[in-house]
Structure 1
Amino acid sequence: MNTKRRTAIVTGAARGIGAAIARRLAADGMAVAVIDLDESACADTTGSINDAGGTAMALAADVADEAAVNKAVAGVADALGPPTVLVNNAGVTRDDLLFKMTAQDWDTVVNVHLRGSFLMSRAVQGHMVEAGFGRIVNLSSTSALGNRGQANYAAAKAGLQGFTKTLAIELGRYGVTANAIAPGFIETEMTAATAQRLGMDFADLKKAAADQIAVGRTGRPDDIAHAAAFLAGEEAGFVSGQVLYVAGGPTN
């Protein structure tokens, strides 16, 4: 892949899916900016990339904060070069049934997923347009199809799909593609927290999920990283506005 001169930004990359994507893009030759709320929390991700001979830097930013986003993107451009690959992965959950969900629970989830992806995409698109090349990958979810106890999360993830398709339409003429990945059950701290919320052992939750998945197993962060690497690569220039469900089988 001719990606040695590419600079990528991955949000929410201190751990889990984001960390796996950051490591994979670095292995493909990109310089990677790892963004999370806490810069020190990114040390494992950036350390593993740099130790492997890659180039990575960590920055702290709240993706829902406009000033923080603009400052972070400017810092990446100065330190690593203009960012032409963006993976909007930052996310949170505040699960509850509708009648118990607070307005703050709603706002927190929608702001991080939707507002954050909007602010990051807007901040980098100028660099992409100027370069005549860009890849935006947004992390949606199978929850976009509806999931009990996740009205906020489902709405945000469904919104990301419409956002992705619109970016593809607006930016395609400038050599910029936009796609979304919708993971199914992936073994992360977030799904472990779901097990705790449900009062289940994580191993039991994973087994129950695997029993419903066509390939007979739950997903791992690297499964999503492989998909992101393709969509972020040179060869995916004719793939845009798509939602790729990475869920081990058909979704409903």
Structure 2
Amino acid sequence: MQVIDWDAMSAPWLKSERGLEAAHQTVLDGLMHRAGLETGQRVLDIGCGTGASLLAAAEVVGMTGQVTGVDIAPPLAARARDRAPETVDVLVGDAGTLEHDRAFDAAISLFGTMFFTDTPAAFATIRKALKPGAKFVFSAWGSPPRNPWFGIPRSSVEAHVGELPKPDPTAPGPFRFADAQAIVEALSSVGWDVSVDSEALLLRTGQDSNGLAEMHLNIAEALMLANHDLSQNDRDAIRENLRVGFSNHQGEDGVQVPAEVHFFTAIAVD
């Protein structure tokens, strides 16, 4: 099994934290609306990343509540811990195998569930961490053609370096849950009553195409281009491809990228 260097994997996300959180804010708003968290609840946040969803949950549950975030990447968990108030705990580990000594009233996940090696087993473990009847709301990306947030970077890179290996849609990755109905069926067999609401929305980035080009080049170099030896001319060409691609979605307040996001609501069956 390949060992993942989480320091290397986390670096571009930490560098791009503000831009990514701005782009994901519309999704986080939809997630929190559907979660309906309440004051005083104990909430589990799966794949909390740098902490945007933790902070949102902590604000709702207040000082009488408690939020526990879990992330497998130590650098991201450390950043989330630095931002969190005293009502928040942050754990480093695989949320799909981690056991908890007390049951939670609710759970949320902002793009944090698509990377489990064994999805049904992971959700069975999470089910054990929630009280019967508790709600788990999580978001996942829809199909690649409906998400230019990923398509523009990929096409911008491929236009310069050639075709990249096609990712396996059934393997852990951002589009693991693109087939929403398959996930509903898989989770229904391990103790969840699941429904899904697929929504077309806009990622309101708050940046112009130049800012987004720089951010996505940084991410692409760490992920798609990790094995490529790029010259400065290569970087400049890819950056320009990115700028042109995102400029097609320029709005009055910055680039607004259309997206399709699945919002899953899973109720823990008694």
- Which TM-score applies when normalising by structure 1? 0.52
Offset of residue 214 of structure 1? 6.4
The residue type equivalent to 1:125 in the other structure is: R
Gaps of 5+ in 1: 64-68, 92-111, 239-252
SS state at 2:177 partner: helix
The residue type equivalent to 1:57 in the other structure is: D
For residues 122 and 59 of structure 1, the distance between their equivalents in structure 2, rounded to whole angstroms, comes to 19
After superposition, the Cα gap between the structure-2 partners of 1:115 and 1:85, relative to the gap in structure 1 and judged at 3 Å, is same
For residues 183 and 115 of structure 1, the distance between their equivalents in structure 2, rounded to whole angstroms, comes to 29
Equivalent residue number for residue 166 of structure 1: 185
After superposition, the Cα gap between the structure-2 partners of 1:211 and 1:46, relative to the gap in structure 1 and judged at 3 Å, is same
For residues 205 and 32 of structure 1, the distance between their equivalents in structure 2, rounded to whole angstroms, comes to 41
- Which TM-score applies when normalising by structure 2? 0.49
Q: 2:77 aligns with which of 38, 42, 50?
A: 42
Structure number with the bigger relative contact order (C-alpha 8 A, sep ≥ 6) is 2
Offset of residue 194 of structure 1? 1.0
Equivalent residue number for residue 246 of structure 2: 210
Equivalent residue number for residue 24 of structure 1: 56
Equivalent residue number for residue 192 of structure 1: 218
Select the structure that is richer in strand. 2
Equivalent residue number for residue 45 of structure 2: 9
1:60 aligns with 2:92: yes
**8 Å contact 1:32–1:55 — kept in the other structure?**
yes
After superposition, the Cα gap between the structure-2 partners of 1:62 and 1:191, relative to the gap in structure 1 and judged at 3 Å, is farther
Equivalent residue number for residue 87 of structure 1: 109
Gaps of 5+ in 2: 1-35, 156-163, 206-211
Equivalent residue number for residue 33 of structure 1: 68
For residues 85 and 165 of structure 1, the distance between their equivalents in structure 2, rounded to whole angstroms, comes to 17
After superposition, the Cα gap between the structure-2 partners of 1:215 and 1:114, relative to the gap in structure 1 and judged at 3 Å, is farther
After superposition, the Cα gap between the structure-2 partners of 1:189 and 1:210, relative to the gap in structure 1 and judged at 3 Å, is closer
For residues 211 and 117 of structure 1, the distance between their equivalents in structure 2, rounded to whole angstroms, comes to 37
Equivalent residue number for residue 4 of structure 2: none
**8 Å contact 2:116–2:122 — kept in the other structure?**
no
For residues 248 and 118 of structure 2, the distance between their equivalents in structure 1, rounded to whole angstroms, comes to 32
Measured on the aligned residues, the alpha-carbon RMSD in Å equals 4.7
**8 Å contact 2:105–2:134 — kept in the other structure?**
no
Q: 1:123 aligns with which of 122, 125, 129?
A: 125
For residues 8 and 125 of structure 1, the distance between their equivalents in structure 2, rounded to whole angstroms, comes to 11
SS state at 2:185 partner: helix
Equivalent residue number for residue 103 of structure 1: none
SS state at 1:115 partner: coil
Instruction: Compare CA radii of gyration and give the structure with the larger one.
Output: 2
